[in-house]
């Protein structure tokens, strides 16, 4: 190689070290950039020229060049923030954002998001975060195609009550407080549905039944179609205790002024939604139950016990009563539909016992309340082989009557108060009605070759033929990491390492410049030979 050629070798060294300095400068400039991944320059030597040296062959190199610039995708440190929409991925994966103007899709590790005035979840450049509507089921977190995440409503819709559950103990020591005014002749001791008989909404609309007529009662709020709350009370009274078995009667009732069933307009049984019995063995375990509702048949008189037939069952096997709180015209029972096709509130009653077949599972499905009262030997109860009993089934132990738990599934409308994001990337809203509803699920993409991603600035990357297509999934699945809320991933630039590289790069640049100046001096000496 000539002396002149060595100058070009030195120039290649200056060029590569200058390139490395640019990358180091970019790393240090982004020390505080959210989600930034530092770059690393790799050099390689250039081609070689062969020289014949007597019996051997020598090779002379012609400098260096940049072979690659790698991104370090290792995890950056976490910073806790006060914004719930500040998100960080722990492990592999990228958030997905999209330009709503030209449709370009990007990925990023920077999760500094917020909701804009239109309700879209966006990054600082206004790119819309991608994901799915939440459809949390056993099979999938998501539903529908991936797209923009938009919070387009701040209200939770009301839900009418479909089931009310009571887990309770009815004391075995209780006494029968209500008996018929005229004791029946046979069978001796029959006093079923005396509690039903005592209910009188015409003479005492505010207090249709006295507190001296029942042994125990429990009230809970249920909700109609519009989300309005209504008090529903279950009254219990011990009916009889014979041959070691305990029987209780009960009625389910609402405020008579809120009972909108047309046939109950002037009846003294207005407000009574269901009546029935519960039987227990000598150990206090629940053995069976019956449930009757007004079926709008026969004499069309709610006072007539012959109009109270075994209740229908819901799909889970619990008896249903009808509460026409919405005032639908012509609706009296579970079989009625209003002129506009609307159905009334149908509420199932769960005492911990249900029918396995979820069908009309009474021993005698046509037996009315009057038939049962006349002949208690043939109670219209659930067929023994069809009984499904849970651990929360009612009991009649020798302790005070008490309610262990009570619940219902309805709620009123509510307003959004808080947004939360869980580790699976599910964005949920908490509402003033106490509800927590899943709204969205963040889309997380992963690539076979992260080093093949194109860096486009703004903490953004685009896929390329080298990176391969994005594998889109939800957080915390496969090899994709989980999501942390109120957290930002910081730059992974190691300043101490970068400063050491600055020093070595500076020295490398200086040494290559010396190659050029030394070659220049050698050429000057050659020129001076002419003197």
pLDDT value for 403: 95
Helix, strand, coil distribution of the chain in percent, nearest 5: 15, 40, 45
Q: What is the mean pLDDT of residues 127-154?
A: 83
pLDDT value for 205: 64
In 3D, which of 449, 439, 451 has the Cα closest to residue 471?
A: 449
pLDDT value for 272: 92
When pLDDT is cut at 50, 70 and 90, the band that residue 261 belongs to is confident
**Residue entry with tokens 């009262």:** 373
Q: Which residues of 83-98 are buried (b: 16+ CB within 10 A; e: fewer)?
A: ebbbbbbbebbbbbbb
Q: Answer whether 323's CB lies under 8 Å from 230's CB.
A: yes
User: Between 263 and 484, whose confidence is greater?
Assistant: 484
Q: What is the mean pLDDT of residues 349-366?
A: 73
Separation CA 229–CA 222 (nearest Å):
6
User: Between 238 and 179, whose confidence is greater?
Assistant: 238
Lowest mean pLDDT among 41-55, 308-322, 423-437, 446-460: 41-55
CA triplet 275, 278, 284: central angle to 5 degrees?
Answer: 155
Note the pLDDT tens digit of each residue in 411-427: 999 999 999 999 999 99
Q: What is the DSSP letter of 339?
A: T
- DSSP assignment of 379-410 equals ---B-GGGEEE-TT--B--SS--EEEEEEE--
Indicate the SS3 state at residue 307: helix
Q: Answer whether 475's CB lies under 8 Å from 425's CB.
A: yes
Q: Is 332 left (phi over 0), alpha (psi -120 to 50) or beta?
A: alpha
CA dihedral 500, 506, 511, 515 (to 10 degrees): 150
When pLDDT is cut at 50, 70 and 90, the band that residue 186 belongs to is very low
Residue 363 has pLDDT above 60, yes or no: no
Cα 400 to chain centroid, rounded: 39
Structure tokens given for 93: 């994966």
Note the pLDDT tens digit of each residue in 51-109: 667 666 676 767 778 888 889 999 999 999 989 999 999 999 999 999 999 999 999 99
Q: Which residues contact 454 (CB under 8 A, 6 or more apart)?
A: 461, 462, 463, 464, 467
In 3D, which of 447, 440, 494, 471 has the Cα closest to residue 115?
A: 440
Separation CA 201–CA 264 (nearest Å):
10
SS (H, E, C) 71-129: ECCCCCCEEECCCCCEEEEECECEEEEECCCCCCEEEECCEECEECCCCEEECCCCCEE
Percent share of the chain, pLDDT over 70: 85
Tell if the pTM clears 0.85, that is, is over it: no
Residue 380 has pLDDT above 70, yes or no: no
The CA distances from residue 36 to 13, 27, 450, 459, 460, in Å, are 28, 9, 14, 7, 10
Q: What is the mean pLDDT of residues 285-305?
A: 82
Lowest mean pLDDT among 56-60, 102-106, 215-219, 247-251: 56-60
pLDDT value for 187: 42
Task: For the chain, report the end-to-end CA distance as a whole number of angstroms.
Answer: 25
Separation CA 49–CA 188 (nearest Å):
121
Separation CA 270–CA 234 (nearest Å):
15
pLDDT value for 376: 53
- For the four alpha carbons of 181, 187, 188 and 192, in that order, the dihedral sign comes to negative
Q: Where is 498: in which H helix or E strand?
A: helix 495-528
Structure tokens given for 14: 């200056």
CA triplet 375, 377, 379: central angle to 5 degrees?
Answer: 80
Structure tokens given for 249: 């009667």
pLDDT value for 171: 94
When pLDDT is cut at 50, 70 and 90, the band that residue 308 belongs to is confident
Q: What is the mean pLDDT of residues 364-376?
A: 66
Structure tokens given for 78: 């976490």
pLDDT value for 184: 42
Note the pLDDT tens digit of each residue in 5-35: 777 787 888 888 888 888 999 999 999 999 9
**What is the pLDDT of the chain when averaged over all its residues?**
85
When pLDDT is cut at 50, 70 and 90, the band that residue 432 belongs to is very high
Residue 339 has pLDDT above 70, yes or no: no
């Amino acid at each position: 190689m000539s002396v002149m050629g060595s100058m070009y070798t030195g120039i290649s060294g200056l060029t590569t070290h200058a390139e490395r300095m640019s990358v180091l400068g970019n790393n240090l400039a982004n020390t505080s950039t959210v989600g930034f991944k530092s770059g690393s320059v790799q050099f390689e030597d250039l081609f070689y020229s062969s020289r014949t040296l007597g019996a051997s062959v020598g090779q002379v190199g012609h400098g260096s060049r940049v072979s690659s610039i790698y991104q370090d995708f290792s995890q950056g440190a976490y910073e806790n923030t006060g914004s719930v929409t500040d998100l960080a991925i722990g492990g592999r994966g990228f958030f997905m954002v999209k330009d709503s103007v030209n449709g370009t899709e990007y990925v990023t590790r920077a999760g500094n998001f917020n909701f804009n005035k239109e309700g879209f979840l966006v990054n600082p450049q206004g790119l819309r975060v991608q994901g799915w509507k939440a459809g949390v089921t056993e099979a999938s977190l998501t539903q529908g195609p991936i797209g923009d995440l938009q919070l387009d409503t701040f209200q939770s819709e009301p839900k009418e009550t479909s089931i009310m559950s009571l887990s309770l103990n009815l004391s075995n020591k209780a006494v029968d407080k209500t008996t018929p005014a005229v004791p029946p002749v046979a069978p001796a001791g029959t006093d079923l549905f005396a509690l039903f008989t005592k209910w009188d909404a015409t003479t005492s609309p505010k207090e249709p039944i006295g507190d001296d007529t029942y042994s125990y009662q429990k009230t809970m709020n249920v909700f109609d179609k519009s989300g309005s709350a209504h008090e529903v009370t279950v009254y219990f009274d011990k009916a009889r205790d014979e041959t070691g078995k305990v029987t209780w009667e009960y009625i389910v009732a609402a405020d008579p002024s809120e009972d909108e069933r047309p046939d109950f307009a002037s009846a003294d049984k207005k407000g009574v939604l269901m009546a029935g019995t519960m039987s227990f063995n000598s150990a206090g375990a629940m053995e069976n139950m019956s449930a009757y509702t007004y079926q709008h048949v026969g004499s069309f008189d709610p006072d007539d016990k012959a109009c109270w037939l075994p209740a229908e069952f819901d799909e889970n096997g619990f008896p249903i009563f009808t509460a026409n709180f919405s005032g639908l015209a012509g609706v009296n029972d579970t079989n009625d539909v209003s002129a506009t096709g609307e159905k009334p509130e149908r509420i199932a009653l769960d005492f911990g016992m249900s029918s396995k077949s979820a069908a009309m599972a009474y021993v005698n499905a046509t037996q009315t309340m009057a038939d049962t009262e006349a002949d208690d030997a043939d109670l219209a109860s659930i067929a023994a082989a069809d009984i499904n009993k849970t651990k929360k089934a009612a009991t009649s132990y020798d302790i005070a009557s008490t309610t262990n738990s009570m619940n219902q599934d309805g709620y009123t409308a509510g307003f959004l108060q808080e947004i939360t994001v869980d580790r699976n990337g599910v964005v949920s809203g908490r509402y003033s009605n106490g509800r927590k509803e899943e709204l969205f699920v963040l889309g997380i993409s992963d690539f076979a070759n992260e080093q093949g991603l194109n860096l486009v600035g703004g903490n953004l990357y685009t896929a390329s033929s080298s990176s391969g297509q994005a594998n889109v999934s939800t957080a915390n699945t496969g090899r994709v990491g989980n999501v942390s809320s109120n957290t930002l991933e910081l730059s992974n630039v190691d300043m101490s390492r970068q400063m050491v590289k600055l020093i070595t790069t500076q020295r490398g640049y200086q040494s290559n410049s010396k190659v050029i100046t030394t070659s220049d001096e050698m050429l000057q000496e050659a020129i001076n030979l002419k003197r």
